[in-house]
Amino acid sequence: MKAPLLLIVAVWLNVPYGGSSSCSVPPSQWCSSLDSAVQCGVLKECLESNFTRSHQTADPVQVGLYYESLCPGCRMFLSTVLFPTWLLLHDIMTVDLVPYGNAVEKHDGKKYTYECQHGEQECLGNMIETCILKLSKIPFPIIFCMEFSTDVINSAQSCVKIYNPELSWKSVMDCVNGTQGNELMHQNALSTQGLKPPHQYVPWVTINGKHTEDLQDKAMASLFTLVCNMYQGEKPPACGGGKRHYKSYCQRN
């Protein structure tokens, strides 16, 4: 079972939602098994989420974000637009994060090296987020936590501890400082360099693998509206599909 929206919001806000004091697993794992769902008092929500996903009538909209960890515009888009949209529409959209942006890759004969637009700290932030994307089962809330904080780098360890406590910080840093992280960042470089058309700036948004200035403008203006319009299946309630859930109105005198 995959965590439904309400549980993801609980992870985002870091507040307890499970109805049972015997719950001993983090929110991201509440729907990982029938036992944990029962233990944490969220069986109904987990089953409802599975039912909704199993009755999807079209492929989800794929939203790609090519960005830099310390780019102000990237941070704002990721934390105030992309992440909230994903929270509301995660049943009909997927997110692919590629932290690299305007970096320059070189090879010194042994490994790849990087020069980043906002300096060495940005290279470190890109690498930490790249390793989190690989190692964590729920990476997006961690990266949101980092990008929304006042200090992207120094918040990383605490963000991992809050949203994915079973992921050790040592394993993240082993990836960052080792061959695994170096190769993962090389893949980010290849993905970014292979964009068609080539990216001219960041944040650079793709929708279903495509980028146009029209799609970029619509994503920046209202990604929520764009995803709802692009989804080819039955619209979820968040997009205005289905029946109204609110029946009480304040009538005009």
Q: Decide if pLDDT at 31 tops 80.
A: no
3 state DSSP class of 67: strand
Check: CB of residue 97 under 8 Å from CB of residue 143: yes
Share of the chain above pLDDT 90, in %: 69
> Other C-beta atoms within 10 Å of 51: how many?
9
All structural domains of the chain = 5-54 (no CATH), 61-230 (3.40.30.10)
Q: pLDDT-based confidence at 57, cuts 50/70/90?
A: confident
pLDDT above 70 as % of the chain? 78
- Entry pTM: 0.80
CB 134 within 8 A of CB 175: yes
Q: What is the pLDDT of residues 169-202, one digit of tens each?
A: 999 999 999 999 999 999 999 999 999 999 999 9
Structure confidence by residue, pLDDT tens digits, 115-156: 999 999 999 999 999 999 999 999 999 999 999 999 999 999
